[in-house]
Amino acid sequence: MKKASIQYNIIFNVILTLSNIIFPLVTFPYVSRILNPSGMGVVNFYSSIGNYAILIATLGISTYGIRVVASVREDKSKLTKVVQELTLINVLMAILVASLLLVSVLFVDKFQSEIGLVLITATSIVTSAFSLNWLYSGLEQYDYITKRSILFKVISLVLIFILVRKPSDYILYAGITLFSSLGSNILNVFYSRKFISFVPTKGLTFRPHIKPMLYLFASMLAVNVYTNLDAVMLGFISGDVAVGLYSVASKMKWLLLMLITSASAVLLPRLTYHLSKKESQQFNKILSESSALILLIAVPLSVYFIFMARDSVLLLGGDNYVDATTCMQILMPILIISGFSNITGNQILIPHNKDKLFMIAVSIGACVNLILNVFLMPPYGIVGAAIATLVAEATQMAIQYYYSKEYLRGRISYVVIRNIVLSVVSASATMCLIIGTLHFAPLVNLALSASLFFGVYLAVLIVLREENILRFLKKAKV
């Protein structure tokens, strides 16, 4: 199977990430005004239940599947066998989880009042088993994933604006969301015939998959718990206002992390493929380039948004959220920490089948976050929550580094680090000179300062002859 270039895959994955950010920003203001808080609240309630149920039903296949598909993708018979095994596991788990949800209607009064949404949620759980995104990621079909995703986002957008017209249309809105995922999954199944056979394979084996899947599932569950833990604990300890402030600061962190990780997420299948072929030279080359790429993006973003945290908060939430500025500044170094964790975890430990070590690191990070929240939230509120998250992320990263340091040795260029530091210092010095003169609207302040900061950053990198930047500019024919 012909492999697309890594740059090609990165471009499409970044486009996909941007679409996942932009489309909700377009639909949310309209839907929230039409459905009112009560309608949005009930839809989001069942959507959250569905998301957790799907997380349980997939049992880590979303990550494990990428790795195992990448290792056998050149052998159609092996690929077909693996896909049928994982899909069957996913289908059985999805049916079990959806059945438990339907049975719970008999005992939960809240479910009985919204049978329509319960049925939509149960259907979305069962059909999620046929999404096969892990298959296409393992095959590095990022152009197909992106085109398909944008197609159904556009269809859903049109249907929402046409059909959702009054508060009672909240079930219709949930149905459109289901239609989007269902249509996407049907297309995925038909398109998969290009790569696998639908003829049932004899001798399916499930046992070898269970242990690594459960390790990765536990890791995903731990991450999911401690990414939502701060808001839950803040609500109990500091109240709803604190949760609102913290959500704005963490929202910006989440958006920036999506951009950083989207550039490197495409590397898991390629790295796994090279390991399966025992091509250590190619593995090390990609690891070195990806490490440089993540640091080149994460470090300047972190520093810039520490400078411009206030305007970022004002743009996202308005004047009522200005108290979240310090919280956001504390959270910004996580861009660098999580970027590095992406290298040690997704690009080293997981491709090397060290799922247990990855799970240990993530679980310890979750425990540290919980303990620090208990001690820091009561006296310091959202600042304490931000410090706890920062320390937890740093702890997880340090443990992952300890487990992966033998693979990292010689992979991170000190010349690249020197060039990044000099460029960021130069850009920061420029920001210090002009930041006091920025008295415009937040959007204008951000546009002007970003142009200057990243312009200086890029210019210094070019002057220093940073090879990764020069290579990218050459390929882009700038």
Chain position carrying tokens 């796994």: 272
For 430-461, b/e burial (b = at least 16 CB within 10 A) is bbeeebeebeeebeebbeebeebbeebbbebb
Series of mean pLDDT values for 10-residue runs along the chain (478 residues) = 62 76 73 73 76 85 86 87 92 94 86 86 90 85 84 89 86 87 87 87 86 86 73 75 77 80 68 74 79 88 93 80 90 91 84 87 90 92 92 93 84 85 94 83 89 93 85 62
Residue 347 within any structural domain of the chain: no
User: Looking at residue 89, what is its pLDDT?
Assistant: 93
Assigned domain for 371 exists: no
> Cα angle vertex 280, ends 62, 271, to 5°?
20
Task: Indicate whether 68 belongs to any domain.
Answer: yes
Assigned domain for 164 exists: yes
Instruction: Please say which residue of 158, 179, 205 terminates a domain.
Output: 205
Q: Give the torsion through C-alpha atoms of 390, 391, 394, 395, to 10 deg.
A: -150
Query: Which DSSP symbol is given to 332?
Result: T
**pLDDT attached to residue 87:** 92
Map residue 277 onto helix, strand or coil: coil
Task: Round to whole Å and give the CA distance between 363 and 355.
Answer: 12
452 domain-assigned: yes
The whole-angstrom separation of Cα 420 and Cα 426 is: 10
Confidence at residue 478, expressed as pLDDT on a 0 to 100 scale: 45
Q: What is the amino acid identity at position 401? A: Y
Of 205, 240, 261, the domain-final residue: 205
Q: Which residues contact 415 (CB under 8 A, 6 or more apart)?
A: none
Give domain status of residue 150, yes or no.
yes
Q: How many domains does the chain have?
A: 2
**Domain-embedded: residue 221:** no
Can you give the pLDDT at residue 29? 65
Residue identified by tokens 């990430």 is 17
The per-residue pLDDT for 123 is 92
Residue 361 lies in a domain: no
pLDDT at 6: 64
Per-residue confidence (pLDDT) for residue 138, from 0 to 100 = 83
Domain housing 440: 414-475
Contact 138, 79 (CB under 8 A): no
Of 205, 224, 258, at which residue does a domain stop?
205
